[in-house]
Chain A
Amino acid sequence: MSSKIKRNVLKSMIIGVLAYMGALGAPQPAQAEYADIVINNYADAAGMRPAVFPHWFHRIRFRCKVCHTDLGFAFKAGGNKIDMAKIIDGKFCGACHNGEISWSVENCAMCHSGIPGQPTHFHGSTVQRLIAPAYKPLQANDAKK
């Protein structure tokens, strides 16, 4: 009898440890910097990691006006349909990532650094934090376009 109890205790301990490890391994909610954007209209399909754009890093160097007026970035994650052809023509990211204002385009992995499979999204937005938004967030539809 006592050996059976021991075995049962052992069994439940193993199950407990497994469950704990499972909980640790489960995907954790992202805790990226406020206003980070993952852009993945095309990257995944072409076998590249999604691009990640950090607002915090760029707003230390440039006012919003530089990108959102002069360079014509519309206020919509994924809405500018950025691709590499536009970038090497000096549009969007390519207006600066050209070896003059900033490092140039051959540093693929600096921009393409996102975890594969993530949809285009805006990190940390108030809309995402609403418990029961009464509508579908824009981002969910954008990714399909």
Chain B
Amino acid sequence: MNHKTKAVSLSLAMLVSAFAWNAQSHADEATGVKQSPLMLAEVSSANTFNVNLKKPKSRNLPPAEDGIHDPENEATHSLQHPLDAYKGLPTSEFGNYVDWVKALDEGKLRPRWDRSDPNEEPFVLDLDIVRPVKASVPDVVFPHRQHTEWLYCSNCHPAIFIPQKNANQISMSAILLGQKCGVCHGKVSFPIETKTCRKCHSKPKPAGWTPPLSEATLKNPWK
């Protein structure tokens, strides 16, 4: 390195650090917090799209590539590829990307109701429970039929739900935290996401229904 380039790079470095210091002191003034030196690259990358949007790159991967099975374990390579198992089953847009309810209804699957007797039939109860919802989304219909095809009464009653219409407090935040319907939905049965809202919220609101106004709006003197 000759003297000239040394001098140029030195002054460049000083310029950059001066900028950084300047930005740093402004940030300190604004927030009142002492921060670690500001990196210019970090500032720009904070402002991109999809900071919080994580999309899966692919679906139904074979066990050896799925990130939880160890590919160095030889038996991992003997495990079944989900797509081999799902061939011919009705599809969906979420979860396992299989419509498990339709698969039973169409007779494409006949999972056992008893551990060893393939001829035992489930005890199916055909009873819909409608739960009116205060918000603008359609009312919730809970269908016993699809549930009792898979589950027994004691899986839900009385530990998760008291078996009495509207005796249970259910809210969306409880469900998202894994309680009530969220004990299963969002874990094994279909997940809670934009594409599934209408599976539960399936009964349209009566004509002319509008959401109730909040108290703050009703009392608003400037209205």
Contact surface of A with B, Cβ cutoff 8 Å: 28-36, 38, 49, 52, 54-57, 59-66, 68-71, 75, 95-96, 100-101, 107, 109-110, 112-116, 118, 122-127, 129-131, 133-135, 138
Contacts of B122 in A (CB 8 A): 63, 65
Question: Of all chain A residues, which has the CB nearest B5?
Answer: A4
Report the Cα distance A56→B188, complex, angstroms. Answer: 8
Contact B76 A113 (CB under 8 A): yes
**How far, in Å, is A83 (CB) from chain B's closest CB?**
20
Q: Which of B33-41, B146-154, B163-171, B211-219 is the interface stretch?
A: B146-154
Known: A109-B74, A118-B68. A64 touches B150 (CB 8 A): yes
B54 at the interface (CB under 8 A from A): yes
Question: Of all chain A residues, which has the CB nearest B115?
Answer: A66
B183 at the interface (CB under 8 A from A): yes
Which of A52, A123, A138 is packed against the most chain B CB atoms within 10 Å? A52
Contacts of B75 in A (CB 8 A): 107, 109-110, 113
Q: Which of B135-143, B174-182, B202-210 is the interface stretch?
A: B174-182
Report the Cα distance A68→B113, complex, angstroms. Answer: 11
Q: A113-B73, A126-B178, A127-B186 are in contact. List 17 more A-B contacts (CB 8 A).
A: A29-B54, A31-B65, A32-B67, A35-B96, A38-B68, A49-B70, A56-B98, A59-B111, A61-B111, A62-B111, A62-B112, A65-B151, A69-B152, A75-B183, A115-B67, A125-B186, A127-B177
**How far, in Å, is A69 (CB) from chain B's closest CB?**
4
Choice from A30, A33, A115 contacting B70 with Cβ under 8 Å: A115
Choice from A31, A64, A69, A129 contacting B66 with Cβ under 8 Å: A31
Contact A130 B176 (CB under 8 A): yes
Report the Cα distance A54→B81, complex, angstroms. Answer: 11
Report the Cα distance A115→B63, complex, angstroms. Answer: 11
